[in-house]
Amino acid sequence: MNIKKLFSNRKKFEVTRNSSKEEKIKDNLEHNISTLSSIFESSINSDFVIRQCDVLSLEKKASTFFLNGLVDPKEIEEFIINALTNSEENVNKNMDIEQLVNDIIPIKNIKAVSMISECVQGLNNGQTLLLVEGIENGFLLDTTKIEHRGVETPQNELVIKGSNEGFVESVAINKALIRKQLRYEKLVSDNVELHNRAADSVSLMYVNDLVDKDVVEDVKKRLRDIDVDTIQNIALLEQYLEERPYSLVPTILYTERPDRVVSYMLEGHVVILAENSPACLVVPVTFWSFFHTAEDNYQRWAYGNFIRIIRLLCFLIAIVTPSFYVAVTTFHIEMLPTDLALAIAAKRETIPFPVIVEVLIMEVAFEILREAGIRVPSPIGPTIGIVGTLILGQAAVEANIISPIMVIVVAITGLSSFAIPDISFSFMIRVIRFGFLLSAAIFGLFGIVICLTLSVAYLTTLHSFGVPFLSPKTPYNPSSKDLIFRRTIRKQRIRPTNINPQDSTRK
Amino acid sequence: MKKIMFIIPLSIFILTGCWDKHEIEEQAFVVVIGLDDSEKEDGVSVTYQIANPQVGIPNTGGEKEVASEIITFTAPDFITARDLANATVARKVNFAHTKAMVIGEDFIRTEKAKKFLTSGIRDREIRRDIQVVVSKEKAADFIKNNNPNLETRPHKFYDLMTGRWAETGLVPLSDLQRYFQRIESKNDAYLAIYATTEKSDDDKYGNEDDYLPGQIDQKGSSRTQLIGSALLKDGVMIGTLTGEETRSALNLRSKSIAKYMRVTYKDPFNKKYRVAALLTKPRSNKIEILTQEVTPKVNVTIPLSFKILAIPSGENYVTNLENQELLRRHVEDTLKKKYNELVKITQEEYKINPFNWSRVARKNFLTMQEYEEYDWDDKYTNADVNIKVEVKFTGFGKQLGPPKVDEKDEGK
C-alpha cells in the first residue's frame, strides 16, 4: 500500500516538475524567480542562492542564481556582482543586450538561453544564471569549480617504467590528461546527454579520422537507451553498456591510465568518460586488451615479452593448478614422480578429508583472506597478514587439516591471480577456478580439458561492440601481432584491423 | 526448457565420472614385483615390495617404521595377486609406480615364466618402462636381501641403478616394452639386467668389467651386484653375458647407446700395466648385411672415440705419434678380437644375435613372407661376420704428462 503511494506521488511530482521545466523564460523577473525557486525547492534547499542586484549601467534589476558547492564564490563576487553593480562606464544603451552583458562581465564563457530547462541544467553543472528584468533570455556564466582530488598515481595499474599519472574524479581534468598526451586536432570530445532524470552528460573521446563511426553510433545509441535516475560513475555505466550482464567475461575495458587510453584511441577505439570516476571505459576491446598492460610496450622487446610469458604462465597456473593437483592425486597418480607421490601420500596419511575438500577449505580461506584484506580498516590491516599466515600457513598444517603441499598449491594459485593485470579478469579467473575444480574432482584431467575447451569455445562466441572477442587471432585480421607476444616497436606498423580503423597503417 | 538445460548438465555430473577416484594415501605403491616358480602347476610365487610413504619424511610419525613391506604368496598371476595381497595390506594395491620386475633365474629359464610375464601386458597399471631384472637366486630372496645403504626408499635404488646402463653399459637397458618387442620379432635376443645378492663361489679378478654378478670381490655391507646380462631367446633365458660382453654387445648394436665406458687395455709396450681410457661411440655403426648368398655376409664398422685417462706405465703415447699409432692399432685389434669372440659365442652357443641385426637384415626384403622364408635365425649361425673398429683419439686428459718419475723406477 505504502509503496503504491510512493509511486503515485512520484508520478505526480514528475508531471509538475516537467511542466515548469518546459517553460520559457518570461520578461517578468519576479515570475522567473518564483519558477526557479520552486524547481530548486529554495524554501528548504539552502544551497540554492539567489542574489538580486541593480545593474547600474543598464538601469535594470537583475538576479543571479547558483548552487553553492559547484561554483567558485570568488569568481562570482569579483567578476559578476562587482561588474554588475559598479559599472559606471557609459555604455551604449542601443546595443543588443547580449552584447552588453558580454561587455560588462569579464568571464570566460557566457551562453544565452531561453528555456527554463536549460537554466536548470546549467545551474546543476555549476554555472551561474543571470536574469535581467524585461529580457526573455537568461545568461549562463561559466563559474564551475568542483572539488576533486589532485592527479595521483593510478591505484591499480602500476608501472615501473612510464608515466605515473592516473585519472581523477573530474572529467575536465581527465580530458586535460588525455589531451596532454595526444595533441592532435582530430581528437574530439563528443558530449552525449542522457535521457534520464538527472540529465547526466557523458563524454566520448576518439580520434575522428581513425575511429569506426559505426561504433561511435552504437555507443551513443546504447547511452541514449539508458533509462534510470542517474549514472553515478563509470563503473555503473559499464554495466549498463555491456551486452551480457550475466557473463563472467568482461567486454569493456576499465582503465585509469591516460597513456593507455591514448594508445587505444590511436588504434581507433572509443573512450567513454563520465563525472566522478577516476577511470574511463574503452570500447570495443578484445581478450588481449585485458591480457596486456601499459608496461608491455614501454619495456624493451625482450623484457616486455618476458613479462608476457610470466603473465601467460600466471593465467594458466591461476586457473588450473588446484584442479590439476586434485586430478593428478586422485585419478592419475602414475603421472607423478615416485618420490613426489610418496611424499604427498605420506603427508596426507593423517589428513581426515579427501583432497577435494582439502582444496576447497584452503581456496575458500584464501578468498576470505583476500576479501577481508580489502574491507579491513587500515589501522587493523596488519592483523590480516598475521592471522592469514598463521591460519593458512602453519596452524592448519600442524593441526593436520591441510597437507603442506596444499599450502604451496594455494599460495602459487593466489600469487598468480594477483599477477593478472585487470581486476575484472582476475575475478573471472577466481570464479571459474572453482568450476574447473569441481570438474577435475569428478572427471580428473578429462574434466579439466573439457572445461578448457568449453571456455575457449565460449570466448569465441563473445563480441564487444561488434568486434569478436578473440580477434585478431581468431577470426584472423591483419594486425601488428601484438597478442600473446609482441614484435619490436618498429615492426608494429599496422593498426589491428578487427577494430575497423579508417586508416590501417600507423604513420 | 530452462529446467531441462539445468538437469542435463547436472545428470552428467551425477551419473558419470568419479568412480575411478582413489585418494593417494589410500593406495599401496608396489615398487618391485618378484616372480618365482611355485610348486603349483597353474600358479606363480609373487613377491610385492610395497613402499612405506612416510619413511624419510619429517613430522609424519613414520620415521621409525620400516621402509617397505615385502610379502610373498602364491597366486594364479601377478595381476590378480593384488586382491590376495589385500588380505594383509590394508590399502589398494597400485602398480603405477612399479620400477622393476625381478625374476628368478630358475623361473625365467622355463616357458612358464614367459606366459606369466606376457599375460601382464593387458593390465592398465603395468608400465612398459618397468625394468626386467633377472636374479641368480630366487626373486623373493633377492628382494629381501637387497638393502641398499644409501637409499632410504626402495624404489630409488632401482630407479638409479637401472639408469646407470646409459652411462656405463655394464648392464643393458631392459624394460618390459623391449621384452615384448623381442618376443614379437623373434629374431633378436633380449638382454636383461643380471643381478644377485649372493656371493659367487668362483671369485675372479676380471679387470674393470669382466664379471658376472656376485663375482666382484667387494667388501662392504651391501651385497647386491648388478652387472652383466641374462640372454633371453624368445622370452626364455638361455645364457649369460659378463659385464664386458654386455658392453661389447651394446657397442655392436646399430645405435649409439652407452654414453661413455671407462675401459682399460693392456699396454702394448709394457705388459705389466694397462692403459685406461674413456670409450664413447660418437656415431651409429655402419652395418651392412648381404643376404644374396647362401651364407649371409655381415659387415660392421664401429666408430669409437678414445680419450686417454691414465697411462700407469709412463710410456709416451701422447707426443710420440708412432707410439700413438701403435696404441691405436693395439686397441683396435683387442676390441676386434673381443667382438669377434662374442659374435662367435652367440652364433655357436646361443644361435641368436643380441645386436638387433635382424632389423638391418629385414631391409633387404620386400615382403615379410620373403624375409620369413629366408630364415634369418638359421642363417645367422653361419653368417660371415666382418667387424671393423675405427678408433680415434679425441683427448689425452687435462695434463699431457704426469710429473717426472725417477729414471731407475721406470721400465722395470
Give the one of B18, B20, B51 whose C-beta lies nearest to A342's C-beta: B51
Tell me whether B5 touches chain A (CB under 8 Å).
no
Chain B residue with minimum CA distance to A438: B13
Select from A325, A335, A349, A353 the residue whose CB has the most chain B CBs within 10 Å, as the one to mutate to test that interface.
A349
With a pLDDT cut of 90, the percent of chain A lying above it is 44
- Position A479 pLDDT exceeds 50: yes
Taking the C-alpha atoms of residue B123 and residue B311, their distance in angstroms, rounded to an integer, is 53
pLDDT of the residue at B256: 65
How distant, in Å, are the alpha carbons of A478, A495, A505, B293 from that of A491? Answer: 13, 11, 11, 66
Q: Specify if A505 maps to a domain.
A: no
Summarised one tens digit per residue, pLDDT across range A24-53 is: 888 888 888 888 888 888 888 888 888 888
A20 confidence band (pLDDT: 50, 70, 90): low
Q: Specify if B389 maps to a domain.
A: yes
Summarised one tens digit per residue, pLDDT across range B315-346 is: 888 888 888 898 899 989 999 999 999 999 99
Same domain? B345 vs B210: no
Q: Which range marks the domain in which residue B65 is found?
A: 25-252
What is the DSSP secondary structure assignment for residue B130, as one 8-state letter? Answer: P
Give the one of A345, A351, A444 whose C-beta lies nearest to B53's C-beta: A345
Q: Specify if A474 maps to a domain.
A: no
Average pLDDT score over residue span B196-208: 78
Tell me whether B94 touches chain A (CB under 8 Å).
yes
Same domain? A379 vs A456: yes
pLDDT of the residue at A201: 84
Single-letter residue type at B73: F
* Residues of chain B positioned with their CB less than 8 A from the CB of A442: 13, 16-18
With a pLDDT cut of 90, the percent of chain B lying above it is 26
Same domain? B237 vs B302: no
Q: Are B61 and A341 inside 8 Å of each other by CB?
A: no
The set of cell numbers assigned to A7 is 509511486
For the ranges A150-154, A171-175, A324-328, B165-169, the lowest mean pLDDT is seen at B165-169
Which is nearest to B171 in space by CA: B254, B231, B235, B127? Answer: B231
Average pLDDT value for chain B: 85
pLDDT of the residue at A94: 65
- Position A95 pLDDT exceeds 80: no
Same domain? A103 vs A176: no
- Position A11 pLDDT exceeds 70: no
Single-letter residue type at A103: D
- Position B411 pLDDT exceeds 50: no
Q: Specify if A218 maps to a domain.
A: yes
Select from B23, B52, B64, B156 the residue whose CB has the most chain A CBs within 10 Å, as the one to mutate to test that interface.
B23
Same domain? A278 vs A316: no
Give the one of B18, B27, B51 whose C-beta lies nearest to A333's C-beta: B27
Same domain? B118 vs B261: no
Q: Specify if B14 maps to a domain.
A: no
Same domain? A133 vs A62: yes
Q: Specify if B17 maps to a domain.
A: no
- Position B205 pLDDT exceeds 80: no
Residues 6+ apart with CB under 8 A from A485: A305, A308, A309
Q: Are A338 and B31 inside 8 Å of each other by CB?
A: yes
Q: Which of B222, B252, B282 is the last residue of a domain?
A: B252
Residues 6+ apart with CB under 8 A from B266: B273, B274, B275, B330, B334
Summarised one tens digit per residue, pLDDT across range A200-239 is: 789 999 999 999 999 999 999 999 888 888 888 899 999 9
Query: Do residues B282 and B306 touch, judged by C-beta distance below 8 A?
Result: no
Same domain? B318 vs B400: yes
Q: Specify if B20 maps to a domain.
A: no
Helix (H) or strand (E) holding A297, with range, is: helix A295-298
Q: Which of B191, B223, B252 is the last residue of a domain?
A: B252
B179 confidence band (pLDDT: 50, 70, 90): very high
Nearest-CA distance from A357 to chain B in Å? 12
SS3 state of residue B229: strand
B257 confidence band (pLDDT: 50, 70, 90): low
Taking the C-alpha atoms of residue A497 and residue B3, their distance in angstroms, rounded to an integer, is 42
pLDDT of the residue at A204: 94
- Position A16 pLDDT exceeds 50: no
- Position A90 pLDDT exceeds 80: no
- Position B91 pLDDT exceeds 70: yes
* Residues of chain A positioned with their CB less than 8 A from the CB of B153: 339, 342
Same domain? A243 vs A372: no
Q: Are A443 and B16 inside 8 Å of each other by CB?
A: yes
The set of cell numbers assigned to A323 is 584442479
Tell me whether B61 touches chain A (CB under 8 Å).
yes
Same domain? B138 vs B244: yes
pLDDT of the residue at A19: 57
Summarised one tens digit per residue, pLDDT across range B304-315 is: 988 888 888 888
- Position B412 pLDDT exceeds 90: no
Query: Do residues B70 and B147 touch, judged by C-beta distance below 8 A?
Result: no
Taking the C-alpha atoms of residue B18 and residue B34, their distance in angstroms, rounded to an integer, is 32
pLDDT of the residue at A214: 92
Q: Specify if B5 maps to a domain.
A: no
Q: Are strands B27-37 and B100-104 parallel, antiparallel or unpaired?
A: parallel
Same domain? A179 vs A44: no
Taken in order B245, B250, B253, B256, the sign of the CA dihedral is negative
Give the one of A330, A346, A444 whose C-beta lies nearest to B60's C-beta: A346
Residue given cell 625482450 in the structure block: A302
Query: Do residues B242 and B202 touch, judged by C-beta distance below 8 A?
Result: no
Alpha helices in A22-57 (DSSP H): 29-39
Nearest-CA distance from A364 to chain B in Å? 21
Taking the C-alpha atoms of residue A501 and residue A384, their distance in angstroms, rounded to an integer, is 48
pLDDT of the residue at B258: 65
Same domain? B226 vs B294: no
B169 confidence band (pLDDT: 50, 70, 90): confident
Taking the C-alpha atoms of residue B338 and residue A151, their distance in angstroms, rounded to an integer, is 86
Taking the C-alpha atoms of residue A143 and residue A148, their distance in angstroms, rounded to an integer, is 16
Give the one of A339, A349, A442 whose C-beta lies nearest to B18's C-beta: A442
Same domain? B228 vs B86: yes
Q: Are A341 and B57 inside 8 Å of each other by CB?
A: no
Q: Specify if A105 maps to a domain.
A: yes
Q: Specify if A95 maps to a domain.
A: yes
- Position A13 pLDDT exceeds 50: no
pLDDT of the residue at A10: 47
Helix and strand element counts for chain A (H, E)? 20, 12
Same domain? B283 vs B409: yes
Same domain? B248 vs B261: no
Same domain? A334 vs A421: yes
Residues 6+ apart with CB under 8 A from A314: A416, A417, A419, A420
Q: How many domains is chain A partitioned into structurally?
A: 3
Average pLDDT score over residue span A414-422: 92
Taking the C-alpha atoms of residue B65 and residue B50, their distance in angstroms, rounded to an integer, is 13
- Position A314 pLDDT exceeds 90: yes
Residue-wise DSSP of A487-504? --GGG--B--GGG--S--
A315 confidence band (pLDDT: 50, 70, 90): very high
Q: Are A331 and B60 inside 8 Å of each other by CB?
A: no
B160 confidence band (pLDDT: 50, 70, 90): confident
Same domain? B266 vs B241: no
Q: Specify if A485 maps to a domain.
A: no
Q: Are A334 and B54 inside 8 Å of each other by CB?
A: no
- Position A355 pLDDT exceeds 90: yes
Same domain? B245 vs B267: no
Same domain? B246 vs B298: no
Same domain? A243 vs A192: yes
Same domain? A331 vs A442: yes
Q: Are A354 and B20 inside 8 Å of each other by CB?
A: no
Tell me whether B153 touches chain A (CB under 8 Å).
yes
Nearest-CA distance from A331 to chain B in Å? 5
pLDDT of the residue at B407: 52
pLDDT of the residue at B123: 83
What is the DSSP secondary structure assignment for residue B404, as one 8-state letter? Answer: P
Q: How many domains is chain B partitioned into structurally?
A: 2
Same domain? A7 vs A110: yes
Tell me whether A338 touches chain B (CB under 8 Å).
yes
Query: Do residues A105 and A132 touch, judged by C-beta distance below 8 A?
Result: no
What is the DSSP secondary structure assignment for residue B26, as one 8-state letter? Answer: G
Same domain? A260 vs A353: no
Select from A324, A333, A358, A437 the residue whose CB has the most chain B CBs within 10 Å, as the one to mutate to test that interface.
A333
Tell me whether B90 touches chain A (CB under 8 Å).
no
Q: Which range marks the domain in which residue A391 is found?
A: 310-467
For the ranges A389-398, B120-129, B140-149, the lowest mean pLDDT is seen at A389-398
pLDDT of the residue at A1: 45
What ipTM score was computed for the predicted complex, to two decimals? 0.86
A113 confidence band (pLDDT: 50, 70, 90): confident
Same domain? A335 vs A448: yes
Q: Specify if A489 maps to a domain.
A: no
* Residues of chain B positioned with their CB less than 8 A from the CB of A331: 20-21
Q: Which of B230, B252, B274 is the last residue of a domain?
A: B252
B70 confidence band (pLDDT: 50, 70, 90): very high
Select from B25, B68, B156 the residue whose CB has the most chain A CBs within 10 Å, as the one to mutate to test that interface.
B25
Average pLDDT score over residue span A240-250: 92
SS3 state of residue A388: helix
Q: What is the CATH number of the domain that holds B307?
A: 3.30.300.210
- Position B406 pLDDT exceeds 70: no
Query: Do residues A485 and A495 touch, judged by C-beta distance below 8 A?
Result: no
- Position B402 pLDDT exceeds 90: no
Q: Specify if A93 maps to a domain.
A: yes
pLDDT of the residue at B17: 59
Task: Identify which has the larger pLDDT, A353 or B185.
Answer: A353
Average pLDDT score over residue span B245-262: 82
Q: Specify if B6 maps to a domain.
A: no
